[in-house]
Each structure stands twice: as structure tokens, then as C-alpha cells.
Chain A
Amino acid sequence: MSSARFDDLLNGFLDERLSEAELAELNGLLAQDAVARKAFIRSTDLHLALRERFGAEAHVPQIHVGAMPMLTGARRSVSSKGSRSISLRFPRRNAVETQKPVWPFALAACVLLGVALAFVANRPSITGAVPVAKLKSAMPVQNVAPDHAKAEETRRKAALENRRARIERLKAEEDLVQLEHECDRLLGAQHQEARREELARVEASRVEAEVRLRSAQEKQIKAEDALALAEETLPGEPVASDGQVAQVIFVRQGAGAQPMLVRGTERLALSNGLAVLAGDRIETGGLSTGAASPLAVAAALELFGGATVDLAQGTTFEVSGYGRGKLTDGLVYAHVDTVMVGKANTQEVVLQTSCADVVARKGRFDLMVGGGQVLLRVAEGKASIFNAQGKHEVGALQQSAARVGAAPAAPSALVISDLWAGRSKFASATAFRQVLLAWDFEKPEGLNNWVSAAYETVHTHAGSKGALRAKKLEDQEHFTSGAFYQAPRSGPIFTLTEKTTLRFAFYVSQPGEVKIHIVPVREERKKIASSVAWIIGDAKSGTWHSIAVRIGEVFKDRAGFGQPVPTGLRIKDLEFYAGENGMDVELYLDDLAVTEGTP
């Protein structure tokens, strides 16, 4: 748009003659150009300044300085210094104010005033303006000779009448003044009421803000107190004089490569009790072979500051400082439980990776680095994962992954591929508060409760002695699954709560989809629109996967695509499906349990 066009629009705006289309045109230009906005403000100010300069006397009433006593002196002071004028006055009553409830009374008062004026103006007897001659002419004519006594009497009466009329007029005038005052009072009250309402509203907002501020201040003070207490209680950054920040607490003996500690150019064989200094690097050697068996724990460290870290084989981990570590490659399992002050864990343990850092105060999680990404899986408590691109807090039974240069993924339900718990038996059902259902398929008779399944003793998970192998049911035409399992028909019924958790391990021979149905008891099926399912898409084949999910979070109706399953539902069956497009796949299940509560 040309400058000339902008000038044209601008002057049109000032002269209040822009059409809607022209205003839209001006609007578009102002939205795009900061220079144009400044030119607009300058021109507007000039326009108003010219109005003030040329029209000040005629159009800008001066301030009622009496209403602002402080301004009186100040204004005088400023006026004496220069030619600037100040134009302040009381605001006009606006439309909002005239709609206040007091208005009818003011109107009524004014109508009364008008009536009074009309009455006064049209009533000769009280105006006092009636000439005596007129009074005389109004008197009855008598055909008698003038009688002085009578004439005097008539004059006296007229004078008396005149006096009465004057009194009445004065009284009417007094009433008039009173009515005017009443009018002003009512209108003033109306204005004051509006102001009172506005002030009350502002005052309420102010009080609310003060309460919020006070609450925030109290929280801040409490937090500061806790921090100060923590700093007093804790030994500080207890890097010992010898620089020790961690200690080796476990070294796997026998099979596999010997874990080593690298300190500068020195390489030390890892041994129990070995002191680890800041900057030391632990290398646990090559990976174990055998896809069906879980990774072995190669070593474990105690990080001073409140954490133990189990290192899997094939892991490189550097202890960078007090409560600080750096995972270069491999897999670790951390149990973080920092020093508590009151009810709060006050310190953080930080595990760095090339993709993102993980911070925790209390919790259990594993952390895997490889292939240019990091995967955090939290079994208990919570941990934060962050990098320059973003941050997420990952809660229990959730996972998040991050790549270099990308923000961590939003936490999702835990789908654990080889959930690794280091030396602990996290996968053990005993870690859960209450076990509702549990099958480890250790004994062939466990199969009695399942429809269409075979006992497998070779392809097992995590050192178990047996697993369940699915068989495809040929008559299930409406299923595309290659395998079908069903939980015991006569098995126990459990009621779903927010904390009901399903754990199991599965293995599929072909990549594809795994679907798990939960089947409510018949009388409760009306509570949901259709069957309730959770679908694991893109399940990788040829390896075992461990799963731990909250049923209420991931299971949805309409075969996994609808609403989350409601709590309170009584569950009767579990069904497992695998395969895609009718293609047969082998499905194995192991370590299946439904529990109540967190691990």
C-alpha cells in the first residue's frame, strides 16, 4: 500500500469520514506495520492538539478544581511554569448511569417540578402579578355613588389578597427550590450509587487479589523455610575430601565380561566397596546373548545423595558428581529416595543423557539409551524428563521417550519392552498391594481355566517355567486375530477401580496388533456402549514385552477407540487377541496378574 493511500486513510480517520471498507483497509495496514502505528498515533495526537489549541476556549470546559483539592495548587503551580493547560472536569452522566434504579425517582421528581412550575405559572391568584385595576374590574359593579368606606374596604381586601398571593408565590418558589435540590440529590444519589457499585466491585477484586497474594506468600515462606531447614540439615555437597561421590555395592560374578571402572587412563576391575570419584566411568562390558532371557545386572552403585543405580550389561555410566550421573549407553535402573525433611524429599538426583536429562527425588525407574534416543519408564513415584525443547513429568506406570533436538514425548501408559528392574523383583506380584488375579503358568493345570490354550515350557519369560500359547479358533470368523485366549469362565470377578492394574508379558511371532478385551459381568454390560479393549499397536515380534497399565486409563469402550472404561465395573473375563488381516501369529503370555494399587 502506498504512503499516499495511508495518508489518505489516516486523514479520513481523523476527519471521521472513513467508510467501513476504508477502516478495514486502515486496520490491515496498522496490524502489519509498527511504523504505520506510530504515524497513526502521532497524527491522532496532532489532531487532538489542534482541537485543544484552537477550540480550547469554546469546547473544553475547565476542571472543577474544587472536586480535586490537591489539583488546585498543583495546577496553579504548573500553569505558572508554562503554557500547558489541563482540561479536567467531572464526567458526564453516561447511559449506564441513567439506567440505574434511582432514575425513576429522579424523573418523578422532575415531573413534579414541571407540574409545580406550570401550576405556579397558570394560577393568577398566587402569581402576585395581577394588577389592582384588573382586580377592580373583576369586582361587581354597583350602581351607587362612590362610597369611600366601601372603596377602602375593597382596596384592603385587594391588598390582603395580594399579600396572600405573594406568600403563596414565595412558598411555591421555595417548593421549587426544594424540588430542584431534591432533583439534584436524586441524580447525585444515582451517580453515587453507580460509583459505589463500581467501587464495591473493585474493592472485592482487590480483596480477592490480596487473599491470593497472601496465600502465595505463605506458600513461598513455607517453601523457603523447608529449603532453609534442608540446607541446615543436609551435609551440603558432601564431596569427600578424597572426591568420592559414589560406591560400588554390587558386581556380578562369573558369566559375562568384567565390569571396569575407568579413571583417566587407569582401568580398574570393579569390586564391591570400591570408591567412585566424580568423573569416573563404569563400563559393564558386552551384552549377554539370548533374546528370551532378560538382561543381567552387571553392577550396582550407590550414588551419594539418595540413589542406587543398577547397571545392565553393555552399559556405560559416568558418575559426574554428588547425586549426578551420565548414561552414555545402555540401561540402568534407579531407585531414588533422597533425604527427607518433614514430608518432602528435598534433593534431586539427576541422570543425564545425550537426548534429555532425568530428575527425580523419589521413585523407581529405568532409563535406556541407544539408537539416538532415551526411554524413561517409571515404575513408582515420578521423574521429570527434559531438554532444551521441553519438559514432562512422568508418573508411575508411565513412560516417555526423547530424541536429540526434539522435546520429550508426552507421558503415555507404560508399555514396557523388557521392563528391567535390575536386582529388584519389581515384576513380582508381591510388590503390589493386592493381587486380584495372578497366573504365572508354572503348572500345566493352570490352563484349566483358559479356553483354547496350550502349555509352553520352552518359550518362557523372565526365567519362568511355563507360558501360555494361544491357539486360533477356526470358527471365530469375526475376529481377525490369529490367536485367542480367554480368562476362566468360572474365575474370580473383580471390580475396577482407579488403581486396578494389569500386568503381563507377551510375545508375538509376527509384528502387528495385540488387543486385550475385558468383559464385564452380564448385568453390568449396559454400563458401557460396547466391549472394552486396549490395543497395543505395532507390537514388535521376536521378543518378550512386559506390560503394566492402569486399566481405567488405557482401556476404552468401542474396542479401544471410545470412552475410558468407568470405574465400578465388575470384570468377568480377559481375552487376548493378536494378528492382523487374518494372518496367523503365535501369541505367548506369561506372568499375568491383575492387582490393586501401585507397585
Chain B
Amino acid sequence: MNLDHSQFLKLFLHAQPSIRAYLFAMLRNADAEEDVFQEVALVLWERFGDYKQELPFTHWALGIARNHAVRWRSNKGRRQVWLTLEVEAQLVQASEDLEDELATRRHALDVCVQRLGDRARELLKMRYEQEHSLQDMADNLRMSHNAVNKALVKIRKFLLDCTAQLERASSHPTGGVEL
């Protein structure tokens, strides 16, 4: 079935978190993930006419994403070590399964970040906005590397729990939590 391209954006936005998470798992590098994702997005757009509605869009998109990631890796050389093909194939299924959940979690992330304390938000800014390495952060904050790592782990865990809570509330509107 040839879908109207106007439907592309809706499907694409919904599948985007799953695609990106999968690409990061395959490429082990955020910049590489971003590059390949851009390629994938363009290809998905160009080939949207070939997409068969009988299949889940995410399934189709993950297939294309995987091909591009494999090509990127083959250009990269053999020095890097990757997850095994078996695990990568299993992650496709996990990404598909979580498509709806991830989309909702992303929507909830803003709320959860606001619930963080100033110190935690400062750490996130250093890590994600200024792209400091953990060691740089430790040096700047006069903390140990281990302490920074633990702090980030705790923050991520809080955000995961928080977005999960809001995601569940979203799935069951009677819970009364407003995203």
C-alpha cells in the first residue's frame, strides 16, 4: 500500500526513540549514532513509498537502520568491538516492543528533569550540554571519578523510574498524573 507522505512524520516521530536507541547500541558512540540516524531518516523519507502498511513501521525502519549501521561499522574498520549479532537481533525485538513506551517516556522526561535538584541538573548540563567527560567533571567539581559516575548513575535511575511512573500513569489515565 502506498501511504501518503503526510503520514510519515507521525510514524517517524513515534519510532524515532526506538531507532536511535538501537543505533546507539550498534554503534557505541553518540556522534556516530547521530550521523547514521540522519542518513536513516533521509532514506526512510525517500523510501516511504515502499513501506508496506501491513508491517509495523518501526520494524521496517529498524531494518534500514541496521543496514546503515552495519555499513558505517564496516567503513570504520575492525578495531572496535561490538555487541554480538545475536544480541543485536534480540535488541531489534526489544526496540520494537518498547516503541510506544519510549515515545511516552520522552514526553515525560521534561517533567522528570524539573523534579531534579539544582546540583543534579548541573551535572546533567556538564555531561550532556558541555559534553565533559566524567574525568573532566570530576576535576571541575573536585570530586572523584567514581563519585561523579555514581551520581550520574543515580540521576539516570531516578529519571528512568520517574518516566516509568509517568508512562504508567499515562497508560492508565485514572491515575491522575498530568504529563
Contact = CB atoms under 8 A, between A and B. Distances in A.
Interface of A: 7-8, 11, 13-17, 20, 23-24, 26-27, 30-31, 34, 37-38, 40-51, 53-55, 58-60, 68, 70-71, 74-75, 78, 82-84, 86-92, 94-96, 206
B38 interface: yes
B139 interface: no
The majority secondary structure among interface residues of chain B is helix
A44 B97 contact: no
A96 B75 contact: yes
Given A27-B87, A34-B94, A41-B95, A46 B109 contact: yes
Given A17-B134, A31-B87, A54-B127, 8 more contacts: A11-B152, A15-B149, A16-B29, A46-B156, A51-B128, A82-B107, A88-B45, A91-B38
A41 B98 contact: yes
A416 to B, nearest CB: 48
A86 B9 contact: yes
Interface in B63-103: 71-72, 75, 81, 83-84, 86-87, 90-91, 93-95, 97-98, 101-102
Nearest to B163: A46
A541 to B, nearest CB: 54
B149 to A, nearest CB: 7
Given A30-B87, A37-B90, A40-B94, A54 B17 contact: no
Contact of A50 (B35, B93, B107, B124): B124
Interface string B107-133: 101100100000000001101110100
Contacts of A13: 28
A27 B84 contact: yes
Given A11-B152, A38-B97, A86-B13, A54 B39 contact: no
Contacts of B107: 82, 84
B30 A70 contact: no
18 contacts: A8-B153, A13-B28, A15-B149, A16-B30, A27-B84, A30-B83, A30-B87, A30-B90, A40-B94, A41-B95, A44-B24, A54-B124, A55-B131, A78-B13, A87-B38, A88-B38, A88-B45, A90-B38
B149 A46 contact: no
A51 B160 contact: no
B25 A43 contact: no
A38 B71 contact: no
B159 interface: yes
A51 B30 contact: yes
A65 to B, nearest CB: 11
A75 B84 contact: no
A60 to B, nearest CB: 7
Contacts of B134: 15, 17
Contacts of A87: 38
Q: Which 10 A-B pairs have the closest CB atoms?
A: A54-B128, A91-B39, A54-B129, A44-B21, A45-B21, A37-B94, A74-B9, A95-B75, A70-B5, A30-B87
B137 to A, nearest CB: 11
A42 B105 contact: yes
A94 B113 contact: no
B138 interface: no
Contacts of A82: 107
Contact of B24 (A37, A48, A89, A94): A48
Contacts of B24: 44, 47-48
Contacts of A34: 90, 94
B77 to A, nearest CB: 10
A71 B9 contact: yes
B83 A23 contact: yes
A74 B6 contact: yes
A89 B163 contact: no
